[in-house]
Structure 1
Amino acid sequence: MTTPQHPDLGASFEQSRSGLRDTHRRSLMRTLFLVTGSALVAFGCLQILNGYLWLAAGEFVASVVLFLGVTRINRTPHLQAWIYSYLVTGFSFALLIMLVPDASVAAFVWVLMMPVLAYLLLGKKEGFLLSAPFMLAGCVTYYFHLEFVADARSMIDLLNMMLCAVLMLGFIHLYETRREEAEQRLFTLAQTDALTGLSNRASFQSTLARTIAESARSGTGFALVVMDIDHFKVVNDTMGHEAGDQVLRDISHRLTERLRTTDSVGRLGGEEFGLILRDVKPEDSFELMDELRQRIADNELKYGEALIRVTASFGIAHYPEDGTEAETLFRVADHCLYSGKRAGRNTVVKAGVAAIRSPRRTSKQHV
């Protein structure tokens, strides 16, 4: 069996704090640094003409920091800290501009940009926790900017600001919630075999790669098992594919109910399954798989008026004794599996041991 390189989709999904992966967030931050830095240079020059030298100086200093950040953002290991620094500083500066008389009568519009940037860069939870307080502070600041709301016109201005802020935050929060739900469904579909509900081949290989990395760090071992249903084609040919699907679902249930929560199981394709048994010795993995083999052989599956009985063969490879790479472990497990097939099926074979018949072995039974 060849084992092409698959990305660890689980890890990739967990590392995504928003709809953007880290590489995209870095690219966006770089663009924001460039745009914001350039805008601050222009605003600084205008503030000099406006008579606010101290404000212009602050904007020039901030622009220099942002331009330096452009050269560092792609390499920094502290991306989250950079994002928080940018957002908190930017939001605070927007509030400051609103408090400065005549600095900018339209500065309040930046309050409406707060949830957009926060949710995009931080995701739903952190985006809400950061943007909501700043938006509330922006509405309060705008209230003081109006000085008094005794007349209807001022009240309309204040209510427009508050209503827009609430709607903006609410709509973005709703959108982000729906986006996360959709991404989770797509992620589940990408990782799951539709028929059995087990991990699919790509997901199983990602789990295997992660298990190898964890075992290398901890110095522990594990067993990779490849299992194949014996003469499965007979079931499909004599009773139909629906019966074959029912057999696959039943086998999947047998596998998951017997394994530990730390173990992993997936459907590799067709009637072939893969299992990862963590922290298990070679002799223990053999006993566990032989017990599972016996449970499968003893099980009777009712399909209409017929009873279906099948058997399965298992090949076992151990990390690190039989290999330290996924491709090597799969090759060893496959070799053991087909050694058992040639020896008569309904067997469990581990690396370095010839195919043997278990004392509990039942005779082969087919449909």
Structure 2
Amino acid sequence: MTDEEREALGINKSETNKMINSALSGAASDVTAGAISNNSEVQYEIDKFIKAKKLPFELVSKWFNLNQFGQEDYLPMKLIQDRGIYSASAQEISEAETTTRGLNELQNSGKNLIKNTFVVFTKMNFVSNEPIALAIKQTTDAAANELSSLARDLALKGSEKIYNKTKEGYSVWTTAWLYRLDWTEKTWSELGEIIKAKRNGEDVTFASLDVNFEFIGTEKASSLVTFSLKEKRTEEQIIELSTIRNVDQVYAKLQKNHDVFKAKSPIVIEDGEIYSKIGMKEGLEGGENFEVLEEIWDSETNEITYKKIASIKVDKKQVWDNRYGASEGKEKELGKTLFKGKVKNLASGMLIRQIK
């Protein structure tokens, strides 16, 4: 980022270093310098990248196969319809084949995928814990030395103990920025007009389509990476495990704190119990509340809406640990999370969504 851009955004070039230096001692700041950056600068760079690469248009082009326009068998809605069926469960497809709506409903559901197209940018820092632990120790030692002799000795011993416990390994810090394709009825109409004009031989370009991203929000996650003599994994495997789980953690936060990004998961009814194939990877710990949704299809508009018909809660005793690498060295798990709630009027394939 240039100095002119920083000035336009009101960002002090040395703001980050001042922030770090105020929190950490010189020893820590020397090691972490550059690892922690001002996220307002990062988001500005992301926005520049989005604009320069015309990412919103590139996504639309992918959805509608615009690069194939002009070919004899060109069908702009083919990928969308295919993905509508692709995203459906085997049970939904089986049920659709027995109804008057048939597979057309599933194909039409693909249209909803366009306005639910998300892009996540992530920035990850991998920082040694030792200098940060040392900085904290130096601060607590300075405070301890102001105490009387007995209290000082106890405080210094406590400081040393904490330092030895926290200095090993690394910390993974991940920040994620969530964007959504800003797809509206107006954009639908504009694209349709361009396709019509091109088919009539007019000199128009798809690139004239006015489409952008909508910024939804940002979340952060951090995790500790330590190495133990008892650990059977290599250091590379431990680092891989920690970084993947850290990214999963920040995605779970995005889903939890931003309604538009909340995933809808199907339930399975077995032996009078309610299950779903989600778990710790999605941030579940036990006790979370979910609403059960009934899918309603409007045959005139081909729009799908959802109606809440019940509430269920995650059973703390049976939360599926589906995090990366969690199954290694463990007995085979059930592979799904148990929910508490009334089974009456519920059926396998219904969708659930977490509520606060």
TM-score, structure 1 as length reference: 0.22
Structure holding more strand per residue = 2
Structure holding more helix per residue = 1
**Structure having the higher Rg:** 1
